[in-house]
Every structure is written in C-alpha cells, then in structure tokens.
C-alpha cells in the first residue's frame, strides 16, 4: 500500500496553518468539504466525522432513533465496525453469505431473510465492486426497508450510472490513509433524508440539539424542554466524533483528483485480472462500474498446499497482502461474534472459501502497468 497524502496536500495544509490564527476545530473548512463531497457524490447532505467506523456507529444509532430496534441484515465479509455498530446500537444482526462475483451480499439470501422485524439492510461494496442489483432495490422498496451502503472501499463505484452511496437511505465512507482518498483519518455519512441528516448532526456532537442547522427542528426541541439552557439540550446519548479543519483541508485537496485516480485504479485492476492464470485464480468478478481499492486474489479451488506456497512466496518477495480479503475474512469466525453465535460461521461456504483461500494486494494510482505484469507473472509462476 502507498500513502495517499501527496506533497500538494501537505502544501495546502501548510498554507492553511500559516494564516493568522487559523481555526483548527470543526468550522468552515468542514462545511465546505461536506458541500463539495455532496456535489461530487450526488446527495443533498453529508456529515463529516473522524472515521468510517464513527460513520457506521452514528448511522446505526440514528436508525434506532428513527425506525426503532429490530433486525439488521449484514454481510459476513465486511469490516468489524459494520457489525459492531449494529450490536452496539442494540440491533440483532442477521447474516448472509457472499456472491463470489461481487464479494457483496448474496441478494437472494438477503431477500429471503427479511422478516417483519427487519429494520434495514446494511450492505458493503467490497474492494470497489458494486454489490447492488435491481432485484435488491425493488425488493427493499416494496417492503419499505432502508438500504444502508458501506462504501468505505468503493469511492466512485457505480450502478447503472449512479454512484454507490446514492442508492439507498444513507451511506458511509472512510477516508483512511490507504483508501481511494484520504484525510489521514475520517469518514462521511451521506443521505437525501432531512430528518436523518439532522439526527446525524446531533449524534456527531454529543447528541446536542444546537448542532441542528434547521431552525424549526431546533425550536421544537427548545419548546419541548423550556427548563433547559437551549445551548445544552442533549437529545441523544452520544459522544464527540467530529473531525477537524485540518482533516477537511486535506479532504478538499484530495477530492480534486479522485476521479482521475479512480480511472487509474480501474485500469490497474483490469490489467491485474488479465495477467493472472485463470486456471488457478478467480477472474470473473463484476468489474462493470467498479472503482478498485485493492487487487482481488482468490484461488479457484480449495488447495491448502498451494495456498501455503503462494503465501510463503509473497512473504519472501515482500508483496504486501491481506489474507481473507476485507476485514480478515469471515467475520463470524472472529472472537467477538463466536461468543454470541458459536456455530453460525459454519453456514456460509462462499465467505469461508475467501477466508482461507483469498487475499487482497495493494493497488494505487501510481502503480505502473509494467509492475503489474511483473506481479501477475510472479503469482502465476508459483
């Protein structure tokens, strides 16, 4: 992996800090970044927070307040914070296996597991692959079930010309340093729902009503609690997950070249898949509309001996890799879920194959096609 922060980003930050008495805590730069990001994505509202994990958490807390508790359908291949936020907000996670072509949720399983207790589907677009199809969107719309999109690894991915992150009720993004763009640490929640937006603004900052930017909504809370100081009404039990002006300056600088970088990432992915030995590795991924985060390296067949040779060869060659793909593979095998659902991990063969026989390898815009050819030649020769 390569650090995404370039000299031009640091120069933008230095210029900002060299101003007389620059504001450092959340202020005008954060607002500008939110507005620019909303225009780029194609949504009405965005809320900048200090990490993608915080974006997950306040999204699920807002879901609880606006829709009530119940079940949330989640993938078995995702980052820990997606499922942790479901648990910590008080919901019951309902798990589904993955589609091997998208690495996202198996759509038929999602629709089959909807019950009267289902409050949302929390879908992850893994490693830049779009995981949505029309069958899912139509099925959720017919039952009035919100779709929450985790787009932390898929900035710029599209479905039928629409950016992932605009297809459901709301979406989460991460700006960690190795992602498509970076604020060093940071995240965003995006939506077109004004009620959700105001709730998210409160959850971002201690649950405080003064964070609401709709005067009518703020007045309702003030009128309801006349015995409280209007500046210190805490509507929800929450914490401070704000980011800073400095992170926003970096985000604005990075956003200006995101589209160009995504084109290079996609070019690199196609070259990587084309160069792999298709007899040994899966290459039939759903690349249409993808915006690659990292190269997908998954054995076609379960072969422990070859897997071990491959992994040892990558280590010796100092090829950075992650076994299990995003989040380390099957989340149900992790201790935090094994103690809650001891035998559930055995039910999902597709994610288990990725868990034991899948990897991802770093992709970044400056990676040359020659180096990709060297990489795929090396991998296919093992």
Any bridge partners for residue 189, and if so which?
A: 47, 172
Give the tokens for residue 207. Answer: 């649950």
Residue 319 lies inside a defined structural domain of this protein: yes
Spell out where the chain has E strands: 45-49, 71-75, 92-96, 118-124, 147-150, 158-159, 162-163, 170-174, 187-191, 294-298, 321-323, 358-362
| Residue whose token pair is 């070259």 | 271
Residue 207 lies inside a defined structural domain of this protein: yes
Contacts of 83 (CB under 8 A, 6+ apart): 74, 93, 331, 337
Residue 125 lies inside a defined structural domain of this protein: yes
Q: Are 128 and 34 members of one domain? A: yes
Q: Are 143 and 12 members of one domain? A: yes
pLDDT of amino acid 1? 53
Residue 374 lies inside a defined structural domain of this protein: yes
Contacts of 182 (CB under 8 A, 6+ apart): 3, 4, 5, 175, 176, 250, 251, 254
Q: Are 125 and 228 members of one domain? A: yes
Per-residue pLDDT of the chain (382 residues; tens, 9 = 90+): 567 899 999 999 999 999 999 999 999 999 999 999 999 999 999 999 999 999 999 999 999 999 999 999 999 999 999 999 999 999 999 999 999 999 999 999 999 999 999 999 999 999 999 999 999 999 999 999 999 999 999 999 999 999 999 999 999 999 998 899 999 999 999 999 999 999 999 999 999 999 999 999 999 999 999 999 999 999 999 999 999 999 999 999 999 999 999 999 999 999 999 999 999 999 999 999 999 999 999 999 999 999 999 999 999 999 999 999 988 999 999 999 999 999 999 999 999 999 999 999 999 999 999 999 999 999 999 9
Q: Are 95 and 196 members of one domain? A: yes
Q: Are 149 and 116 members of one domain? A: yes
The dihedral of CA 120, 121, 127, 131: what is its sign?
Answer: negative
- Domain boundary (255, 283, 317) is at 255
Q: Are 276 and 144 members of one domain? A: no
| Residue whose token pair is 């991924």 | 285
pLDDT of amino acid 71? 99
pLDDT of amino acid 2? 65
pLDDT of amino acid 4? 82
Q: Are 298 and 367 members of one domain? A: yes
Q: What is the DSSP string of 35-91?
A: HHHHHHHT-SEEEEES-HHHHHHHHHHHHHHHH-S-EEEEESSS-HHHHHHHHHTTP
CATH of the domain at 137: 3.40.640.10
Q: Which residues of 168-197 are buried (b: 16+ CB within 10 A; e: fewer)?
A: bbbbbbbbbbbbbbbbbbbbbbbbebeebb
Residue 141 lies inside a defined structural domain of this protein: yes
Residue 2 lies inside a defined structural domain of this protein: no
Q: Are 215 and 332 members of one domain? A: no
Contacts of 158 (CB under 8 A, 6+ apart): 130, 164, 289, 291
Opening angle at CA 293, ends 122 and 317, nearest 5? 130
- Tell me the C-alpha distance between 145 and 238, whole Å: 25
- Domain boundary (255, 280, 309) is at 255
Contacts of 202 (CB under 8 A, 6+ apart): 208, 209, 211, 212, 235, 236, 238
Residue 22 lies inside a defined structural domain of this protein: yes
Residue 69 lies inside a defined structural domain of this protein: yes
The dihedral of CA 169, 183, 289, 79: what is its sign?
Answer: negative
pLDDT of amino acid 178? 84
What total of structural domains would you count in the chain?
Answer: 2
Opening angle at CA 294, ends 369 and 147, nearest 5? 140
Q: Are 177 and 31 members of one domain? A: yes
Q: What is the DSSP string of 90-102?
A: TPEEEEE-B-TTT
Range of the domain at 63: 7-255
Q: Are 30 and 163 members of one domain? A: yes
Q: Are 27 and 170 members of one domain? A: yes
CATH of the domain at 369: 3.90.1150.10
Q: Are 207 and 305 members of one domain? A: no
Contacts of 12 (CB under 8 A, 6+ apart): 249, 250, 252, 253
- Domain boundary (223, 255, 287) is at 255
């Amino acid at each position: 992996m390569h650090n995404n922060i370039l000299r031009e980003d640091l120069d933008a930050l230095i210029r900002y800090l060299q101003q007389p008495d620059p504001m450092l805590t959340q202020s005008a730069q954060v607002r500008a970044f939110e507005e620019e990001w909303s225009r780029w994505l194609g949504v009405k509202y965005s809320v900048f927070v200090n990490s993608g994990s915080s974006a997950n958490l306040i999204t699920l807390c807002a879901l609880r307040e606006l829709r009530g508790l119940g079940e949330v359908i989640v993938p078995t291949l995702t980052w820990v914070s997606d499922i942790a936020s479901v648990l910590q907000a008080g919901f019951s996670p309902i798990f589904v296996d993955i589609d091997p072509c998208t690495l996202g949720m198996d759509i038929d399983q999602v629709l089959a597991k909807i019950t009267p207790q289902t409050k949302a589907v929390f879908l992850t677009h893994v490693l830049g692959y779009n995981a949505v199809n029309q069958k899912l969107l139509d099925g959720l719309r017919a039952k009035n079930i919100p779709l929450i999109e985790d787009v932390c690894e898929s900035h710029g991915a599209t479905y039928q010309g629409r950016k992932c992150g605009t297809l459901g009720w709301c979406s989460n993004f991460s700006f960690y340093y190795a992602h498509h763009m970076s604020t060093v640490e940071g995240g965003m929640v995006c939506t077109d729902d004004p009620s959700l937006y105001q709730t998210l603004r409160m959850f971002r900052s201690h649950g405080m009503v003064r964070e609401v930017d709709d005067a009518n909504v703020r007045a309702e809370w003030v009128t309801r609690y006349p015995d409280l100081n209007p500046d210190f009404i805490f509507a929800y039990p929450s914490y401070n997950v704000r980011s800073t002006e400095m992170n926003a300056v970096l985000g604005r600088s990075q956003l200006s070249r995101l589209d160009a970088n995504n084109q290079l990432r996609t070019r690199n992915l196609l070259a990587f898949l084309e160069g792999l030995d298709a007899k040994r590795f899966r290459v039939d991924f759903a690349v249409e509309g993808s915006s690659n985060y990292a190269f997908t390296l998954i054995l076609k067949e379960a072969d422990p001996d070859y897997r071990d040779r491959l992994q040892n060869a990558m280590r010796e060659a100092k090829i950075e890799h992650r076994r299990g793909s995003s989040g380390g593979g099957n989340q149900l095998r992790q201790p935090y879920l094994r103690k809650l659902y001891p035998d559930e991990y055995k039910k999902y063969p597709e994610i288990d194959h990725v868990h034991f026989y899948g990897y991802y390898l770093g992709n970044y815009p400056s990676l040359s096609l020659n180096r990709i050819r060297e990489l795929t030649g090396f991998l296919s020769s093992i």
